[in-house]
């Protein structure tokens, strides 16, 4: 039994659930909690959204741009205000981890009109999904010891439909010998490589399994 094809909507998010929980910016005693709306973001999208949010909520800071340095992964806010920023993340919000904010203690990072977050800004793109079928034995993958019936490579852009096929973008880990008589239903789920259950946000998806007798 192998997966020979799949039709998947690229409708999952890379900032969702706890990921959208905010970080608190404070400028000259005025706090502002940044909570990013759920969605699929590339680093440029996050730069644009963060700059607009800061300009709207903290106009006195005079944020002029958000710069991403690809070579170092550093994300910086340039501002014209005379006072420094302090930034604090939440204990569970992944936005704080993406920006590198300390979840327990506020820290002042802004110096001479530049606020540089203290670690590499990362937004992991979703490029691979793992298909699990509870009723069919699976093998361990090489990624985080995930159990998967098949690995599906996403070759389309977010917001489009992924048309995957065996040998091209669907990779089966093994040949599965399962008595057909024991199968009355299939329970199928999709996971990302880090073990996150994929939410396709109500959009239908389908795949085709080839069943051959030995």
User: At a CB cut-off of 8 Å and minimum separation 6, what does 52 contact?
Assistant: none
Residue that is written with structure tokens 């917001």 in the block: 159
Q: Find the mean pLDDT for residues 197-205.
A: 89
Average model confidence (pLDDT) for the chain?
77
**Tokens of residue 58, six digits:** 């903290």
**Dihedral-angle region of residue 100 (phi above 0 means left; psi in -120 to 50 means alpha; beta otherwise):** left
pLDDT of residue 206: 92
What is the model's pTM? 0.68
Reading the block at residue 180, the tokens are 């057909």
């Amino acid at each position: 039994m192998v997966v020979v094809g799949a039709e998947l909507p690229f409708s999952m998010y890379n900032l969702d659930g706890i990921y959208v929980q905010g970080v608190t910016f404070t400028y000259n005693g005025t706090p502002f909690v940044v909570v990013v709306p759920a969605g699929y973001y590339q680093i440029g999208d996050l730069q644009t959204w963060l700059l607009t949010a800061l300009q709207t909520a903290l106009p006195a800071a005079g944020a002029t741009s958000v710069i991403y340095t690809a070579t170092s992964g550093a994300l910086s806010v340039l501002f014209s205000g005379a006072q420094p920023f302090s930034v604090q993340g939440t204990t569970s919000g992944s936005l704080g981890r993406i920006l590198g904010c300390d979840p327990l203690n506020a820290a002042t990072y802004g110096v001479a009109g530049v606020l540089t977050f203290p670690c590499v800004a990362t937004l992991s793109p979703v490029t691979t999904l793992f298909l699990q079928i509870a009723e069919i034995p699976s093998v361990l993958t090489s990624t985080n010891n995930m159990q998967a019936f098949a690995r599906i490579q996403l070759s389309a852009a977010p917001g489009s439909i992924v048309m995957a096929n065996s040998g091209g973008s669907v990779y089966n880990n093994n040949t599965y010998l399962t008595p057909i008589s024991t199968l009355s239903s299939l329970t199928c789920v999709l996971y990302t490589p880090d073990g996150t259950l994929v939410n396709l946000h109500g959009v239908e998806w389908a795949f085709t399994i080839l069943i051959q007798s030995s």
